[in-house]
């Protein structure tokens, strides 16, 4: 299970309701293992992936909507940034994307030079600088409806039934069947 950080920094008041919600969901799943209809294939569920968005609605009487989901098959963008030379690694310029750019150096919020002449690769240096924009701030239309990524973008708790192969079951819910479920805490 994971808590999805949405508000930065996450208020401490979100923690207790998130923990209570998590305990209630885990208790429900444990008590009803394999009995839930959404997404199960002959009860062959080995584990569940649970994602809870850390948002203001945790503090409300209504709480968060809980939905059965499928796995969003997403990927990271570029993991490394090419630098011209070891000297270029020390040369820095302000990031045009701003201090929160995924390409910014977290220590001083600057972006490293990326100029690499194609003819001179003898001094090529790489810096670990993952591009996570597609994972952290995807557009809603780029995320499949019913996936865990879609649920998080909508502010829903996502529960994805999985098999030990760390893949969702082959049989998926059909039609526009209601994916919402509720438990009383």
pLDDT in tens, 32-81: 876 655 544 555 677 889 999 999 999 999 999 999 998 887 766 788 88
Secondary structure (H, E, C), the chain: CEEEECCCCCCHHHHHHHHHHHHHHHHHHHHCCCCCCCCCCCCCCCEEEEEEEECHHHHCCCCCCEEECECCCCCCCCCEEEECCCCCCCCEECCCCCCCCCCEECCCCEEECCCCCCCCCCCCEEEECCCCHHHHCCCHHHCCCCEHHHHHHHCCEEEEEEECCCECCCCCCCCCCCCEECCCC
pLDDT in tens, 128-185: 888 777 777 778 888 899 999 999 999 999 999 887 765 666 666 566 666 777 777 7
């Amino acid at each position: 299970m994971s808590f999805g950080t949405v508000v930065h920094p996450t208020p401490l008041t979100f923690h207790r309701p998130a923990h209570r919600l998590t305990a209630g969901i885990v208790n429900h799943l444990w008590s009803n293992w394999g009995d839930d209809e959404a997404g199960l294939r002959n009860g062959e569920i080995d584990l569940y992936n649970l994602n809870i968005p850390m948002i203001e609605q945790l503090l409300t009487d209504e709480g968060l909507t809980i939905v059965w989901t499928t796995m969003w098959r997403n990927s990271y963008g570029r993991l490394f940034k090419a630098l011209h030379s070891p000297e270029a690694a020390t040369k820095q310029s302000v990031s045009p994307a701003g201090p929160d750019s995924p390409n910014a150096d977290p220590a001083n919020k600057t972006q490293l030079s990326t100029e690499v002449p194609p003819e001179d690769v003898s001094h090529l240096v790489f810096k670990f600088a993952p591009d996570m924009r597609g994972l952290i701030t995807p557009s809603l239309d780029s995320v499949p409806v019913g996936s865990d990524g879609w649920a998080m973008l909508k502010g829903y708790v996502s529960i994805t039934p999985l098999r030990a192969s760390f893949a969702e079951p082959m049989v998926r819910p059909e039609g526009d069947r209601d994916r919402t479920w509720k438990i009383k805490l």
